[in-house]
Every structure is written in C-alpha cells, then in structure tokens.
C-alpha cells in the first residue's frame, strides 16, 4: 500500500495580512489544506484504483464533496453508503423494517455489490465502524468483508478514523491511501481570516499560531477560530490562545501548571540539559526567519525522552514541568491502562492516545513506568501483548511529522530493561537520569515545601533536615535514600503537627527529629540492649579514628534512622574516589572488626549484631585475594575470578586451600590489629559508649569537647582532624 503523507516547502512571509483571506468556509479550508493530495486521490479513482482516506469524522463529508465534484466533471458518479434511505440510487432500509445504522449500511452494500453500479465509485464513509479493534471484526464486519471482495470490478472510496486501525483483510483492499492528519504548516496562512488574526495582536503571525493548532484538522480549526472572542489587536495574544487551548484539549489530556524552576527544587543539571537540548532549540525555531531554518532546527530536537531513576524522585513531575514550559497539554498513561485481554485492543488504545495527543498539540504523552510493557523483547514471559504494544509504539513514533509539537516521555526505574529498539535515534534517543536529591536539591525541595505549607523553618531546622535526610529511609528497602516524595511526606507531617498545635512559631531542629522518628519506629531497646549497641558502635568509631587510611568520622548514633540498624557510625566520603589502595581496604576490614572486638573486650561476649560486619570483611578479603591478587605475600599476583573453569579445575584442592588460607590470614591479622588498638584505648571506648547512651548521637565536631568533659583526650595520632576537602 502506498502511503501518501502531506508535506512540502514554501517560502512565505507569514506576517503579510494581504495573504490571508476575508472568509474561509470549512470546504475551502479542506481544499486549501489538501487540494493537491485530493486531486491525486481523484486521479487514482478515475483510473479504477480503490482509495482509502484517513481523516477525522468531521472532515469526511467535506472530503467526499470535493472528490465527488472532481469526479463528476469526468462523468463519474458516486454511491454514498451511509445507511440513510434515499429517493434515488441504492435503497436503504426496506419499508416497515427498523434496523441499526450498520445493518442499513450492510444492506446498501449488498445491493451495490450485486446491483448495476458499473462506472460508479462506491463510497464507504464509516469503514472503521466495521471493526472494534485491530484484527477483530464486528458482527456486521464479518458479513461485509466477503462483500467487499465479491466484485473486483468495483472502485471503492473508504474513510477511516485515524484513531482506529483497519484489519489487514480490509486495509489490503485499498492500494492507495491519503492520510489527512493535522494541518500542513505552509497552508496555515490560507486558513485564518484577517479578522481572526486581529484577535491575536499586531505582532502575532500565522506561524506563531501554528504550533498551537498543528494537530487540528481544517474543519475543526475553522470552527474554533470562528468562535474566538475578544478585541481586535489586543496587547497580548494570551486571551485568544487560552480559548484555543481550552477548545483543543481532548480526551484525558490536561493542562499542567508546574514551573520547572519554581516548583522543582535543585536538579540544576537536569534543568540545564532540558533547556539546552530542547527548550532553547524550540525558542530558536519560533524565531527562525524562514521555513528552511525551522525545519533544520526541528531535525535537532529529540521527540522521545526517557527519565530514569529510583522511585519518588520526580520523574513524572519533571515531565509535567517540561510540558508547562512548552505550553503543552499532558496525558499520563500507565502500562495496565493500555493492556486489554482482547486481541488488538491494547494497540487500539495506544493509537487512540496518540491521536488525542496530536489533536491537542502541543502535547506531551507520559508513559509512566514504561518498562511495564516495553521491556526487551524475548525477555518477558507475559501474554505477548507487551511485544505488540512495543511495535505499535514504534509505529506511532515513526509516524510523527517534524512540525508536530508532540513529545513522548517514558519514565522508568530500570532503564537497562527497555527494548533497545526504543532507544534508537528518532525514538527515545535522549535519556536523562533523575537521581536521589543531593544536599543542594534536598535544601531547595524543603524550602519549596516550607513556603507552600508555611512551616517557618529556622535556619538550624532547615540544615538539620537536610543533614538528617542524607541516610537511607528508615523502614524502607536497603539502598532507598530520601527522595522528593519522602521529603514531601516529612513536611506534611510537620504541617499536620503545627495544625494540631495551632502553632505559628518557627520549626526547630527538635521538630525535625520528632517528625523523622514518627516516620518509622522500631520497638524500643532495653537499657541492656542499648549498652551493647553503644559499645559496639564505639568500637567501630575508635577503630575509624585510629586507622590512617579510614575516611573522616562524621557521626555516631544509637538512633534507628538508617534502615536495618539499631545504631551506626557514619563517615564522610573518601576524598579520592578514583584510586583505592590496599591500605584503605585493610583499614576497612580493621574497622569492621571494631564492634565485635569492643564487645569481646568490655562484655566478655559477642552479639549476633556483628554478623553483617564479618560478612562484609570476608567479602573484601576475598576480593583482595581472588580478584586483585593482593593481601598475601605467599601468593603471586593472580586473578582467580578471571580464570576459566577448566583452569580452576586443574588447580585442585591444594591451590584453593592456599587461597582460603590467604583470606583467613588477612582477616585474622586485622582482627588482632583492631583488638590491639581498642585495648590500648579501652578508656576511650568506655567513655564513647557512655556519651552515646546519654546523647544518643554525637557529631564528630562535638566529640573532642564531649570527651574532655569526661577527662579524656583523643590521641594526636588519630584521624579525627581529617576533614573532607
């Protein structure tokens, strides 16, 4: 099937009012928009070739009239099968019978196929009503298909709504298709009257108007423009454009109001990329001097974007802010909404969404959790509908016209799981990570919610909230950091508490602690349990202070604000992140032994709370020996993990025993080293444990002062004074 789409390049000075007509009827608008294409359709029909016209329902009658008049000049008549009874031509319903519209169309079709209609074009204005979804015919459709193929001498003119896909058995009947979707940009000047253009102001041109109406068909455009109210030559086009926007938003689309800078805190890199890669180019396009320049700039703009990152970081919010920046409508779609148990219905749902978005252009389609249906083909064990959805999505995206301002955004937590075909140039070629918010972003997000809910953060409270949300989220899965959603939940909790207390004073650091504690409460430890944990964490802390390659100590805590722990020792990040030395790894093992050895020294027993420490220490030692060839002078440098299975089998038990012995040696030496350090500073371990039990948490900056209050001094050789650069 040949698919003839609209296009063309005409250099126009769109601001010249004399190029605009004084009046435009809907029929004139269709002719002006698609005249050449309809002339070709008429030529094909005259030659005896069936033609399929893809257009919106409200255009069908006007397209038919244009083609009918063109054919009439050559003495070719048309039979219009719309199910309505006529005085002449093919009859509709027999007298005295009441039938549905489709039954009447089938009756007309049967008489046309088997009657005397030689030399006439048979018109099917409601061809799409024969189907309910892709490859699934209605009851009448099953009767119609044989009729369509019964008389090969007939010349068909069929009409199909763009939001539906005809079954192949019907579509193959038409060797030539005219797709009348949207409005060609170079024709917009012929579709707007001078009077209507005056409603947008002196400096507004049809090209400026085009991006707001590109998805409309000419008939609907004329209806909307003719109803615009307002004065001629207003100061701004805002009022007229607002009326257009309200009239063009179709289906489930909505107009978002999310400011990229004011409503989203932090993420300066993400905002910079969106501006530089898309928004700035679109602004240049709007001020391009000619059509050639506009098309050149449009070729630079990615139409598909993937926002990927962990849950709750604002991927959908960024999509809505992006739409707001474009002045676009937005529709958010989830995978389950698209899927259907009926064959072909999922693809029809997707096609309908794209059609609505095009009619409402400028628009943004957001596929939330796109990986729910667009995973790599061959890796999903579902019903198979997912693969069909991926294929349909690719088809729809490949069918975009460059001048259409329709963007497709997919959000996902697992970008690596997406089908590679989606990530090709011209599709989702632009991927942008939305990570957990860093310190700057958390501060900005909290300031936005502070202003929104009147939380009256004191400076100390704000910094406390920023600092305390750098950990994993209490009660969440390991590795779950505070996201924008978590920060919003924290601020909502503060707002509810202020409302209950009818409070207007500033939010304090203690309020932050209370709100965070309320987010997740573990069963309270007994005093005896708290003492064990305090000694355990004090052992880790002192080992950190006394090992030269450990990162700077930041905080010691007995609070359960890090997931899976009853206490923790936190350090600053290593200043050198690109080079890791053997000394750093050995110190890490030594520090991991600190909790267990402190318990052994002061309690004469060990708790099972050190299980994870031993597991991590063993992992590091094994990596040193088997991967990096380090940590043992008795073994030559060798990457055991990189060896083939056959080679490992040749080594046998003796070689494996030597590797295990080297790992055990590393672990035991660091355990003895840690025990020696703690024994030499036993009084400091005890003092640290007492302070922890009293304060519950200690910042490194306060540690020296707290110890001096108990008559203790940290040795000069400790690493307490090391600070991040």
| Site of tokens 């991991």 | 592
Mean pLDDT over residues 135-161, rounded? 83
Across 27-31, 179-183, 298-302, 495-499, least confident range = 298-302
Note the pLDDT tens digit of each residue in 197-220: 999 988 888 888 888 888 899 999
Exposed e or buried b for every residue in 334-349, given b needs 16+ CB within 10 A? ebeebbeeeebbbbbb
Answer yes or no: are the C-beta atoms of 555 and 700 closer than 8 Å: yes
Which of the four pLDDT bands, split at 50, 70 and 90, describes residue 669? very high
| Topology of domain 439-519, CATH | Helicase, Ruva Protein; domain 3 (1.10.8)
Please report the pLDDT score of residue 512 as a whole number: 87
Q: Is the pLDDT of residue 386 over 90?
A: no
| Topology of domain 527-708, CATH | Methane Monooxygenase Hydroxylase; Chain G, domain 1 (1.20.58)
CA distance 715 to 542: 11
Q: Do domains 2-179 and 439-519 have the same CATH topology?
A: no
Q: Which residue numbers are catalytic?
A: 537
Three-class SS state of 708: helix
Residue 393's CB is within 10 A of a number of other CB atoms, namely 28
Q: What is the DSSP letter of 253?
A: -
Mean pLDDT over residues 11-29, rounded? 71
Answer yes or no: are the C-beta atoms of 550 and 591 closer than 8 Å: yes
Taking the CA atoms of 422, 427, 429 and 432 in sequence, report the sign of the dihedral they define. Answer: negative
Across 55-69, 302-316, 566-580, 657-671, least confident range = 566-580
Please report the pLDDT score of residue 565 as a whole number: 60
Please report the pLDDT score of residue 342 as a whole number: 59
Q: Is the pLDDT of residue 98 over 70?
A: no
Taking the CA atoms of 211, 297, 305 and 402 in sequence, report the sign of the dihedral they define. Answer: positive
Answer yes or no: are the C-beta atoms of 323 and 329 closer than 8 Å: yes
| Site of tokens 């598909």 | 304
Please report the pLDDT score of residue 86 as a whole number: 56
Among residues 620, 596, 470, the alpha carbon closest in space to that of 543 is found at 596
Which of the four pLDDT bands, split at 50, 70 and 90, describes residue 593? very high
Percent with pLDDT over 90 in the chain:
28
Mean pLDDT over residues 225-245, rounded? 88
Across 141-150, 472-481, 633-642, least confident range = 633-642
Element (H, E) at 2: strand 2-5
Q: Is the pLDDT of residue 303 over 90?
A: no
Note the pLDDT tens digit of each residue in 503-525: 888 888 888 888 887 766 556 77
Among residues 391, 400, 382, 401, the alpha carbon closest in space to that of 422 is found at 391
Among residues 299, 259, 265, the alpha carbon closest in space to that of 282 is found at 299
Query: Could you tell me which residue, 629 or 680, shows the higher pLDDT?
Result: 680
Three-class SS state of 133: strand
Q: Is the pLDDT of residue 175 over 90?
A: yes
CA distance 540 to 569: 7
Note the pLDDT tens digit of each residue in 543-565: 988 888 888 887 888 765 544 46
CA distance 261 to 268: 9
Please report the pLDDT score of residue 426 as a whole number: 74
Q: What is the DSSP letter of 555?
A: E
Which of the four pLDDT bands, split at 50, 70 and 90, describes residue 57? very high
Element (H, E) at 601: helix 594-603
Q: What is the 3-state secondary structure (H, E, C) of 414-466?
A: CHHHECHHHHCCCCCCEEEECCCCCHHHHHHHHHHHHHHHCCCECHHHHHHHH
CA distance 173 to 68: 21
Residues 6+ apart with CB under 8 A from 672: none
Provide the CATH number for the domain formed by 2-179 in this structure: 3.40.50
Please report the pLDDT score of residue 515 as a whole number: 84
Which of the four pLDDT bands, split at 50, 70 and 90, describes residue 139? confident
Mean pLDDT of the chain: 81
Terminal Cα-to-Cα distance of the chain (whole angstroms): 66
Q: How buried is 385 (Cβ within 10 angstroms: 0-12 exposed, 13-18 middle, 19+ buried)?
A: buried
How far is residue 450 from each of residues 320, 458, 510, measured CA to CA in Å? 22, 10, 16
Among 119-133, 586-600, 698-712, the range of highest mean pLDDT:
586-600
Please report the pLDDT score of residue 725 as a whole number: 31
Which of the four pLDDT bands, split at 50, 70 and 90, describes residue 10? very low
| Site of tokens 């660091």 | 670
Query: Could you tell me which residue, 187 or 89, shows the higher pLDDT?
Result: 187
Residues 6+ apart with CB under 8 A from 201: 233, 234, 235, 236, 237
Beta bridge partners of 474: none
Tokens of 721: 């004074």
Exposed e or buried b for every residue in 239-250, given b needs 16+ CB within 10 A? bbbebbbebbbb
> Domain residues of the chain, as ranges?
2-179, 189-248, 268-433, 439-519, 527-708
Instruction: Note every long-range contact of 143-146, with CB atoms under 8 Å and residues 24 or more positions apart, other chains counting.
Output: 143/106, 144/106, 144/109, 145/169, 145/170
Answer yes or no: are the C-beta atoms of 507 and 498 closer than 8 Å: yes
Tokens of 559: 């609070």
Q: Is the pLDDT of residue 59 over 60?
A: yes
Element (H, E) at 114: helix 101-114
Q: Is the pLDDT of residue 355 over 60?
A: yes
Yes or no: domain 268-433 corresponds to CATH 3.40.50.300: yes
Please report the pLDDT score of residue 91 as a whole number: 43
CA distance 332 to 364: 9
Answer yes or no: are the C-beta atoms of 282 and 384 closer than 8 Å: no
Which of the four pLDDT bands, split at 50, 70 and 90, describes residue 394? confident
Please report the pLDDT score of residue 11 as a whole number: 38
Three-class SS state of 168: helix
Mean pLDDT over residues 218-223, rounded? 94
CA distance 506 to 491: 14
Answer yes or no: are the C-beta atoms of 340 and 390 closer than 8 Å: no
Tokens of 273: 């990329």
CA distance 500 to 477: 31
Across 13-22, 221-230, 261-270, 293-302, least confident range = 13-22
Three-class SS state of 411: strand
Query: Could you tell me which residue, 549 or 115, shows the higher pLDDT?
Result: 549
Please report the pLDDT score of residue 89 as a whole number: 43
Which of the four pLDDT bands, split at 50, 70 and 90, describes residue 597? very high
Three-class SS state of 508: coil
Three-class SS state of 350: helix
Enter the pTM of the model.
Answer: 0.70
Three-class SS state of 570: strand
Within 13 Å of residue 564, how many CA atoms lie on the same side as its CB? 12
Note the pLDDT tens digit of each residue in 638-648: 655 555 444 45
Which of the four pLDDT bands, split at 50, 70 and 90, describes residue 723? very low
């Amino acid at each position: 099937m040949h698919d003839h789409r609209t296009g063309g390049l005409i250099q126009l000075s769109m601001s010249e009012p004399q190029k605009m007509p004084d009046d435009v009827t809907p029929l004139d608008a269709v002719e002006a928009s698609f005249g050449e294409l309809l002339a070709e359709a008429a030529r094909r029909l005259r030659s005896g070739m069936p033609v399929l016209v893809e257009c919106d329902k409200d255009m069908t009658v006007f397209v038919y009239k244009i083609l009918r008049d063109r054919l009439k000049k050559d003495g070719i008549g048309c039979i219009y099968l719309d199910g309505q009874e006529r005085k002449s031509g093919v009859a509709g319903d027999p007298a005295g019978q009441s039938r549905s519209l489709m039954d009447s169309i089938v009756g007309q079709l049967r008489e046309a196929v088997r009657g005397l209609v030689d030399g006439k074009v048979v018109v099917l204005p409601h061809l799409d009503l024969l189907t309910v979804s892709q490859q699934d015919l209605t009851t009448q459709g099953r009767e119609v298909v044989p009729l369509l193929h019964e008389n090969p001498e007939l010349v068909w003119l069929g009409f199909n709504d763009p939001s539906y896909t005809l079954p192949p058995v019907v579509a193959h009947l038409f060797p030539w298709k005219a797709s009348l979707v949207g409005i060609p940009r170079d024709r917009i000047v012929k579709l707007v009257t001078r009077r209507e253009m005056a409603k947008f102001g002196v400096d507004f041109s049809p090209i400026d108007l085009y991006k707001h109406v590109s998805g409309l068909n000419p008939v609907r455009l004329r209806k909307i423009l003719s109803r615009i109210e307002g004065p001629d030559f207003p100061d701004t086009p805002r009022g007229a454009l607002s009326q257009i926007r309200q009239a063009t938003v179709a289906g489930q689309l909505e107009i978002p109001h999310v400011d990229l800078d004011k409503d989203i805190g932090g993420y300066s890199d993400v905002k910079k990329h969106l501006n530089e890669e898309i928004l700035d180019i679109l602004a240049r396009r709007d001020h391009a001097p000619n059509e050639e320049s506009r098309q050149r700039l449009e070729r630079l703009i990615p139409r598909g974007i993937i926002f990927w990152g962990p849950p709750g970081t604002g991927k959908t919010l960024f999509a809505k802010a992006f739409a707001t920046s474009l002045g676009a409508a937005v529709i958010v779609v989830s995978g389950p909404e698209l899927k259907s148990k009926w064959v072909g219905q999922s693809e029809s749902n997707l096609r309908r969404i794209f059609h609505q978005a095009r009619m409402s252009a400028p628009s943004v389609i957001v596929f939330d959790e796109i990986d729910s249906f667009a995973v790599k083909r061959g890796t999903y064990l579902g019903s198979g509908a997912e693969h069909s959805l991926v294929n349909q999505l690719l088809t729809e995206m490949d069918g975009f016209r460059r001048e259409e301002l329709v963007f497709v955004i997919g959000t996902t937590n697992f970008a690596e799981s997406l089908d590679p075909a989606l990530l090709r140039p011209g599709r989702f070629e632009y991927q942008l990570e939305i990570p957990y918010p860093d310190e700057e972003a958390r501060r900005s997000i909290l300031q936005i919610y502070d202003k929104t809910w009147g939380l009256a953060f004191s400076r100390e409270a704000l910094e406390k909230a920023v600092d305390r949300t750098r950990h994993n989220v209490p009660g969440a899965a390991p590795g779950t950091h505070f996201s924008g959603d978590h920060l919003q939940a924290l601020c909502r909790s503060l707002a509810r508490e202020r409302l209950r207390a009818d409070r207007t004073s500033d939010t304090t650091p203690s309020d932050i602690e209370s709100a965070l504690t309320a987010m997740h409460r573990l069963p309270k430890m007994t005093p005896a349990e708290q003492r064990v944990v305090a000694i355990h964490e004090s052992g880790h802390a002192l080992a950190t202070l006394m090992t030269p390659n450990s990162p700077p100590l930041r905080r010691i805590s007995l609070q359960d604000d890090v997931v899976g722990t009853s206490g923790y020792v936190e350090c600053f990040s290593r200043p050198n992140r690109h080079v890791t030395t053997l000394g750093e790894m050995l110190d890490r093992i030594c520090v991991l032994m600190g909790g267990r050895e402190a318990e052994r020294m002061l309690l004469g027993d060990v708790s099972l709370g050190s299980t994870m420490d031993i597991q991590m220490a063993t992992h590091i030692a094994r990596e040193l020996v088997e991967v990096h060839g380090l940590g043992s002078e008795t073994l030559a440098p060798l990457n055991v993990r990189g060896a083939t299975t056959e080679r490992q089998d040749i080594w046998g038990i003796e070689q494996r025993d030597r590797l295990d012995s080297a790992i055990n040696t590393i672990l035991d030496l660091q355990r003895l080293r840690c025990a020696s350090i703690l024994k030499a500073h036993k009084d400091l371990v005890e003092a640290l444990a007492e302070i922890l039990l009293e304060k519950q948490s200690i910042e490194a900056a306060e540690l020296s002062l707290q110890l001096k209050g108990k008559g203790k001094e940290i040795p000069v050789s400790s690493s307490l004074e090391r600070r991040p650069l």
